Amino acid sequence: MKNKILIIEDNENERLLYKEELEKEGYEVLTASSGKEGLSFIEKEKLDIIILDLRMPEMDGLEVLGKILSKRKNLPVIIYTSYSQYRNNFLSWAADAYIIKSSDMVELKNKIREILRDKKNGL
Amino acid sequence: MDYKKVTTFILAGGKGERLYPLTKDRAKPAVPFGGTYRIIDFSLSNAVNSGFKRIYILTQYKSFSLQRHIREGWNILSRELGEFIEVVPAQQRISEDWYLGTADAIFQNLYILEREKPEYVLILSGDHVYKMDYTKMLNFHIQKNADLTISVFEVNKEEASRFGVLKVDNEYRVIDFVEKPQIPFTLPENPSISLISMGIYIFNTEILVKRLIEDAKKIDSSHDFGKDVIPSMIKRDRVFAYRFIEEDKRESRYWRDIGTIEAYYSANMELLEIDPILNLYDENWPIMTYKPQSPPAKIVFLGRNIEILNSLISDGCIISGSSIYNSVISPSVKIEKGSEIFDSIIMNNVYIGENCKIKRTIIDKNVIIPDNSVIGYNIEEDKKKFFVTETGIVVIPRESFV
């Protein structure tokens, strides 16, 4: 069975790009354009990883992260953002990884593999 | 030491079910104590007297009475100087639940720590009665280069099972911690004495945040400092026990967890001793509270067979020809002639009519006791009308009809 990834990202172009790239990697990819929509997926889908943007209108990524934590405590979350300054924000420490957006997405893909491998090995 | 580097949290969210019916309409820390105080006044006074004046009080259940007390009585700090006491209700910014445990209460308020970015976090409980200078504990914490310091109280081994009990080495580094153990650890040098946690913690902020996040992600955690977070830290972090030093500098040390009606009752009664262990008269360590403007206590018609002994009588009371023994009388209580009060706690604005006999009874605020009432003499009769504890203390809830 394919691993299922949810992307929460308000920018439509980026959302489509990530979806395409990650589908090529062999994952099943769901997308949400806002924190609120993303949270509704968490309740009904069995997800393996969430890719989370931080700067979004209405509910920002850190708030979404807090809510994810209270709904599904051990669901891995990767913060994927253009901004490094949130690294010092305590709530961002609750994410499993904090990755700065890059055009080739290599770091993100590697991290996803690593998390899924750890999960499979029960770490 | 710049005390602005310390942020203090007072946990005031417990339901206080074992203090029912005193907690029927108020959170436990807001329960009146010692005539003119509320229980939370002790932790607050300690923090302010210690110079730790950046204080957040975390509330959830029935917080109105507590909020009002803080607003009316504790408006004494200066925002301009970076000092404040803020009452923070559960805001559901992170989770949509009420606080699940003591650790969750801090975790849910992570955004406060984010804004404050203090070096140290002092965590206190709002329902303990004691006097303590937290700067000494902080100095110990720094000197030990600790990640977490837990203030401890020495009790006889037999009494320790109700608490979190610590095992320490000779340096007072904590090597084990068990909540409510059947067989408590004892001191290395004295097998009859156990160290119990007073629920007072100083954390380095970064380690606190990391451990809270870890705990928040654990499925089987009860999100409690004593049950979950502290045990998970002992093997890998520097956790130390600080032996509580009381501000009265006496041999006997005073710390009471006001968890039950019995504990509440006896802590009040202890204030009536000729030289109580808890000294409320120390000008260097004042216990502050809210006091309404009211005239002095007045005692009239004292005469034959009428006595007032071993009692605290607060402002605004009028005692007209009645006898009072071993009792705590809160402000604005009126007691009419011929009545006798023994071993009781009477809260604000209670009216006791003529020729009443009251013994071992706690009467909450605004209750009217009609003439000729007899309470506390026949437990079976009292049980039909009032709340009576296992040891026979009668409790009459606020504003109830008698």
Whether residues B219 and A74 touch (CB distance < 8 A) is answered with yes
Closest residue by Cα to residue B61 from B126, B122, B12, B110: B12
Secondary structure of B9-66 in the HEC alphabet?
A: EEECCCCCHHHCCCCCCCCHHHCEECCCEECHHHHHHHHHHHCCCEEEEEECCCCHHH
DSSP state of A117: H
User: What distance lies between CA A98 and its chain's CA centroid?
Assistant: 10
What confidence score (pLDDT) does residue A103 get? 84
- Tell me, yes or no, if A94 comes closer than 8 A to chain B by beta carbon: yes
Residue B399 predicted with pLDDT over 80: yes
Architecture of domain B3-270: Alpha-Beta Complex (3.90)
Whether residues A67 and B94 touch (CB distance < 8 A) is answered with yes
What confidence score (pLDDT) does residue B356 get? 97
Whether residues A91 and B219 touch (CB distance < 8 A) is answered with no
Residue B165 predicted with pLDDT over 70: yes
Residue B247 predicted with pLDDT over 70: no
What confidence score (pLDDT) does residue B132 get? 93
Domain boundaries, chain B: 3-270, 298-396
What confidence score (pLDDT) does residue A72 get? 87
Indicate if B298-396 has the same CATH topology as B3-270: no
pLDDT band at B189 (very low <50, low <70, confident <90, very high): confident
If you average pLDDT over residues B144-165, what whole number do you get? 95
Residue where the block lists tokens 């509580």: B244
Residue where the block lists tokens 């009443």: B356
Q: Check if the beta carbon of residue B178 is closer than 8 Å to that of residue B197.
A: no
| Contact list, A64 vs chain B (CB under 8 Å) | none
What confidence score (pLDDT) does residue A123 get? 63
β-pairing verdict for B128-130 and B120-125: unpaired
Whether residues A90 and B219 touch (CB distance < 8 A) is answered with no
Whether residues B114 and A94 touch (CB distance < 8 A) is answered with no
Question: Closest Cα of chain B to A95: distance in Å?
Answer: 9
pLDDT in tens, A13-50: 999 999 999 999 999 999 999 999 999 999 888 999 99
In whole angstroms, give the CA distance from residue A7 to residue A22.
Answer: 10
pLDDT in tens, B200-216: 999 999 999 999 999 99
| Contact list, A94 vs chain B (CB under 8 Å) | 213, 216-217
B145-175: burial string, b at 16+ Cβ within 10 Å, e else: ebbbbbbbbebebeebbebbbbbbeeebebe
pLDDT band at B327 (very low <50, low <70, confident <90, very high): very high
How many residues comprise chain A? 123
Question: Closest Cα of chain B to A27: distance in Å?
Answer: 25
Residue B67 CB contacts under 8 Å (≥ 6 apart), including other chains:
B59, B87
What confidence score (pLDDT) does residue B168 get? 95
pLDDT in tens, B95-130: 777 888 999 999 999 999 999 999 999 999 999 999
All structural domains of chain A = 4-117 (3.40.50.2300)
- Tell me, yes or no, if A91 comes closer than 8 A to chain B by beta carbon: yes
CB–CB contacts below 8 A, A to B: 38
- B130, HSE (Cβ side, Cα atoms, 13 Å): 26
What confidence score (pLDDT) does residue B249 get? 58
In whole angstroms, give the CA distance from residue B343 to residue B356.
Answer: 14
The mean predicted confidence, pLDDT, of chain B is 93
Residue where the block lists tokens 């200078």: B133
pLDDT in tens, B71-91: 999 999 999 999 999 999 887
CATH number of B298-396: 2.160.10.10
The mean predicted confidence, pLDDT, of chain A is 92
Residue A104 predicted with pLDDT over 90: no
